[in-house]
Amino acid sequence: MIKSILKYCVYIVIIIGVIIYIWWVYQAATSIKIEDVMVTGFEPLSPFRYRVEVEVVFNNPTGTAIEAEFLIYQVYIYSYYIGEGFKPRLVIKPGMSSERFTYELDIRYLPWIMQRTIAEEGVINVTVTGWVTVPLKAFGIFTWREVRMPYKISRKVNVTEATRNALLTSLRGISPEEILSRMRDLESKISKLLEEISRLKGSLIDPKRIEDLEERVNTLRTDLDSLKSKMEQLIQMMNTLSSEIKGLEKTLARLEREVQEIREILGL
């Protein structure tokens, strides 16, 4: 009888210990805060390409280093989605610490109106948003929950004079055929990206994340197909207009010759 009671007491103590440990892990993870987010660098690599550097500052008051699974970041220019990336396996040290990441952007792939704005104003509005995921692990092995810490930073940065001049030159020389060629290039890159995502299926990465990526890329391809169709129609219309203009130019040339002949007859 006494042995049975002692056995149950041991079980109860173990259960209480597990509950206290899980509670401590949860409190430790949720006590970590993102104190600040800063765009610490905007380096020109060429007239059209820039490297953006972002620093995320953490405050870990627990006195224990906490491992974050990954840091996700998404980059926008004037609310236009540019791309994203992530940093895996971050160790958030006790006290104040920071993590930096960089992203390279090419402003040639921005919509025409945004390129025009940047060329005229010499300024880019960069927004970086994302989150840090901290897994809650039982005894450091089994993940039973995740804590997400979102962040966002927007900042206006100046482009170089070389960028403004290059954009103005590019915008003056842009043609529908060139746009269509760039669309075909995007189409090829999207197909390769979908193939890469397909190969990631069945890996250790969360399947929902893979499905979400695939859905977003397919949406991008649908939007691109729609734009491509509109551009092809526009090129066809412009070719038709070009033929009509050539016809008008020929008619005008004949009329000018007739007028000149009449002037010669009249001795004018």
Q: Domain containing 79 — which CATH number? A: 2.60.40.1820
pLDDT of residue 34: 85
Q: In which region does residue 60 sit, left (phi positive, over 0), alpha (psi from -120 to 50) or beta (all else)?
A: beta
Give me the residues paired with residue 8 across strands. none
DSSP 109: G
pLDDT of residue 141: 56
Q: How many CB atoms are located within 10 Å of the residue 124 CB?
A: 22
Same domain, 123 and 54: yes
The SS3 assignment for 217 reads helix
DSSP 174: -
Summarize the confidence of residues 210-221 as an average pLDDT: 86
Summarize the confidence of residues 202-217 as an average pLDDT: 81
Structural domains of the chain, count: 2
Domain boundary among 113, 142, 174: 174
Domain boundary among 174, 190, 205: 174
pLDDT of residue 196: 84
Same domain, 199 and 144: no
Specify the range with the lowest mean pLDDT, choosing from 51-65, 144-158, 200-214, 228-242.
228-242
* Tens digit of each residue's pLDDT (9 = 90 or more) over 159-181: 888 888 888 777 776 666 667 77
Same domain, 42 and 82: yes
Is 105 a residue whose pLDDT tops 60?
Answer: yes
pLDDT of residue 28: 64
Same domain, 110 and 210: no
Is 7 a residue whose pLDDT tops 80?
Answer: no
Same domain, 66 and 116: yes
Residues 108 and 170 sit within 8 Å (Cβ to Cβ): yes
**Domain limits for position 254:** 175-268
**231's tokens:** 């551009």
* Tens digit of each residue's pLDDT (9 = 90 or more) over 20-62: 666 666 666 677 788 888 888 888 888 888 998 999 898 888 8
More confident residue, 206 or 94: 94
pLDDT of residue 147: 77
Residue type, 166: A
**49's tokens:** 């390409």
Same domain, 90 and 35: yes
Q: Report phi then psi at 16, rounded to 5.
A: -65, -40
Same domain, 71 and 82: yes
**How far is the C-alpha of 211 from the C-alpha of 146, rounded, in Å?**
19
Same domain, 195 and 98: no
- Sign of torsion over alpha carbons 63, 88, 127, 117: positive
Same domain, 219 and 170: no
Domain boundary among 128, 155, 174: 174
More confident residue, 152 or 175: 152
**98's tokens:** 């920071």
Q: How many CA atoms lie within 13 A of 28 on its CB side?
A: 22
pLDDT of residue 145: 66
pLDDT of residue 176: 67
Same domain, 94 and 221: no
Same domain, 201 and 249: yes
Summarize the confidence of residues 53-78 as an average pLDDT: 85
Same domain, 71 and 121: yes
Summarize the confidence of residues 76-96 as an average pLDDT: 85
Nearest to 130 by CA among 197, 77, 84, 66: 84
pLDDT of residue 261: 77
**How far is the C-alpha of 247 from the C-alpha of 64, rounded, in Å?**
80
pLDDT of residue 10: 61
**262's tokens:** 């009449």
Q: CA-based Rg of the chain, rounded to a whole angstrom?
A: 30
**91's tokens:** 């160790």
